[in-house]
Amino acid sequence: MVGTLSACGGESDDAGSGTKDDGKITMGFAQVGAESGWRTANTKSIQEAATAAGIELKFSDAQQKQENQIKAIRSYIAQKVDIIAFSPVVESGWDTVLKEAKDAKIPVILTDRAVDSKDTTLYKTFIGSDFVLEGKKAGEWLVKEYTGKTDTVNIVELQGTTGSAPANDRKSGFADVIKADPKFKVIASQTGDFTRAKGKEVMEAFLKANPKIDVLYAHNDDMGLGAIEAIEAAGKKPGVDIKIITVDAVKDGMTALAAGKISYIVECSPLLGPQLMDLAKKVLKGETIPQRVLTEESAFTPEQAKAALPDRKY
C-alpha cells in the first residue's frame, strides 16, 4: 500500500502530516526515568495505551539525565518515526533538538512536563497537570489547617528534581499561597530528586539541623515516604509531630495517608497514555488540537484516601 491512507490522511514521505507506507504509526517516547511510583505508573499507562491504539512504541528511559533524552530524541529523528513524545526532565535547553525534529518534519508532543522554549511552534501540544495549581492546593490546605493559630509554623520542603517544571511550579504555587501569613516559615528547602532514597537522606539532615519542624511539604509521595522513615528513625511520629503534605496520590502514598502518616495529598495523575495516543493520531491526521491539554485531578484527606484506595489504579 503506497501513498494516500484515507484513515490517516497523509503521505508516507510527509512525516509531519501522515504515517508511513504500512499505515502504522510509530511513536518514539523519551521517558524521564523510573524515579518514582508516579513514573512507573506513567510508563505503564503509555505502553498499554500504545498497544491499545495500535501504535508502535519505541521507548527509552533517560535515567533522569537530559543528555540521554536528547540522544534518544536524535535517534528517533534518525529512525524517522512518525511522531515523538517526551517528558522533559528539566525545563530549559531543548530548543536545538526540538528544532532538529521540526526540520525533519516530525511532530513533537510534550507530556507531563513543560519546556521553557519561547518558540511554541517547536511542539504541537503539551498534555499534563497544572503544577502551580498543585502547589497552591498544598498551601491552601496548610492555611486552613492552621486557621486561628498564631504560633510560627516551621516548614521544611523537599523539592523535586532541580530545574524540572513540577519542582519549580510546586514550589512557587505553594509559596504564593503561604506568603499571605508571616507565621508560615520555610526554614529549609532542598532537592530530594523525586526519589525515596534522597527524600530520606535530606530529611535526616533537616531533622539534625532543625530541632522544631512542624510541617514537611514534599513535592511527591516518594520523597515523603522516604522522609517518613527518617522521621520515625528520629523517634518522631509522622502526621502527629510533623504534618506531611505531598503530591501525586500513588497507592503507597495513599496508604500512608489512610494510616495518618501523611496528612494531605494533592493528586497528580500519571495516566496520560490514552490521551497522548489520541492526540498523536489527531496530529498525524492534520487535525487542529489545543496547545495545552490539562489533566483533571483532585486532592485527598486521610478519610478520602481510605474510601478511594480500593479502586485506585496506580
At closest approach, how far in Å is the CB of 45 from ligand GYE? 12
At closest approach, how far in Å is the CB of 16 from ligand GYE? 27
Considering the complex, state which of residue 39 and residue 171 has its C-beta at the smaller distance from ligand GYE: 39
169 sits near ligand GYE (criterion: CB under 6 A)? no
Q: Which stretch binds ligand GYE (CB under 6 A): 31-39, 71-79, 137-145, 224-232?
A: 31-39
The amino acid occupying position 98 is: L
At closest approach, how far in Å is the CB of 268 from ligand GYE? 5
Q: Which of residues 102-161 bind ligand GYE (CB under 6 A)?
A: 112-113
At closest approach, how far in Å is the CB of 127 from ligand GYE? 12
Cβ atoms within 10 A of the Cβ of 290, count? 11
Contact of 160 with 219, CB cutoff 8 Å: yes
Size, binding site for ligand GYE by CB under 6 A: 13
Residue from 68, 220, 263, 275 touching ligand GYE (CB under 6 A): that is 220
Considering the complex, state which of residue 141 and residue 194 has its C-beta at the smaller distance from ligand GYE: 194
Q: Which stretch binds ligand GYE (CB under 6 A): 34-42, 75-83, 197-205, 235-243?
A: 34-42
70 sits near ligand GYE (criterion: CB under 6 A)? no
Q: How far apart are CA 121 and CA 276, in angstroms?
A: 18
Q: How many residues does the chain have?
A: 314
Contact of 235 with 248, CB cutoff 8 Å: no
Place of cell 516559615: 185
Considering the complex, state which of residue 36 and residue 68 has its C-beta at the smaller distance from ligand GYE: 36
At closest approach, how far in Å is the CB of 221 from ligand GYE? 7
At closest approach, how far in Å is the CB of 235 from ligand GYE? 28
Residue from 5, 10, 12, 39 touching ligand GYE (CB under 6 A): that is 39
Edge-to-edge, what's the strand order for the sheet holding 264-267? 184-191, 153-159, 215-218, 243-248, 264-267, 299-300
At closest approach, how far in Å is the CB of 108 from ligand GYE? 17
Q: Which of residues 267-296 bind ligand GYE (CB under 6 A)?
A: 268
38 sits near ligand GYE (criterion: CB under 6 A)? yes
At closest approach, how far in Å is the CB of 30 from ligand GYE? 14
Considering the complex, state which of residue 25 and residue 247 has its C-beta at the smaller distance from ligand GYE: 247
Give the interface with ligand GYE as residue ranges (CB under 6 A).
Answer: 35-36, 38-39, 112-113, 166, 194, 220, 222, 247-248, 268
